[in-house]
Amino acid sequence: MITYAADENFHDLIKEGPVVVDFFSKTCVPCKMIARVLEEIDEEFPFVNVVKVDVEDCPETAKEYEVMGIPDLYFYKDNEVVRHELGAIPAGDLKECIAEILY
């Protein structure tokens, strides 16, 4: 399920299970490319939570994670970061990152 985070609920959204966090902006072209891939992932891996964080709407969370460029992707397993990728990565690589947090 794709969920849009707010500064107030971000930490609750990443607590359990496999989670992909996408720090993005609505005006960022590479972010829009990643968004399409994340929609595919949401369909292929329904048990992986996708949390989108708009850096303009969630400045405190973006500051906490020191987001300096977007898209900025964090891969969590049970509330622990297991991988971090900065920039638009190819769909196949993104799916490999998902597999890494699942297995």
Distance of CA 101 to the CA centre of its chain: 13
| Residues contacting residue 87 through CB under 8 Å, at least 6 positions apart | 30, 69, 71
Catalytic residue among 13, 21, 28, 53: 28
Active site residue 58: no
97 belongs to the catalytic site: no
Spell out the residues 6+ positions from residue 86 whose beta carbon is closer than 8 angstroms to its own.
69, 71, 72, 73
Catalytic residue of the set 5, 13, 19, 31: 31
Tell me the HSE value of 102 on the side-chain side, using a 13 A CA sphere.
14
β-partners of residue 23 are 53, 72
Residues tagged active-site: 28, 31
